[in-house]
Amino acid sequence: MLALVTTHARGAAAAALACAALGVFAGCGEATLDSKSAEDQITEKSKAQGLEVKSVDCPDDIKAKKGEKGTCELTTAAGDKADVKLTMLDDDGKFEFEVQGQ
């Protein structure tokens, strides 16, 4: 069972706390989260918590707007899959996420 929760907390010393600050893409419509950067951040922070991550896949249509939610998929080195629930913390690409077990 996978379990990892990250929370937005400035200045927190605990290793379990993290906040991802990412760029956003703004084309002709609403700004969206930079999915490649989100995948990289989730991978890095999950590995730092001891998960053996093979890959993370996020959709390209998560709106970069405070309160918006989205789901990515994490695949472990063993081939297990888990949902990664994102919640946008602001309109600038900062988010918190939780890796959910199956």
pLDDT tens digit sequence for 63-95 = 999 999 999 999 999 999 999 999 999 999 899
Comparing 55 with 8, which gets the higher pLDDT?
55
CA–CA gap between residue 91 and residue 11 (Å, rounded): 21
* Measured torsion, CA atoms of residues 59, 93, 51, 4, in degrees rounded to the nearest 10: -100
Strand 53-57 and strand 69-76: the pairing is: antiparallel
Q: What is the pLDDT of residue 3?
A: 45
pLDDT reported for residue 24: 55
pLDDT tens-place string over residues 30-45:
899 999 999 999 999 9
Quick check: 13 pLDDT over 50?
A: no
What is the pLDDT, as a whole number, of residue 87?
97
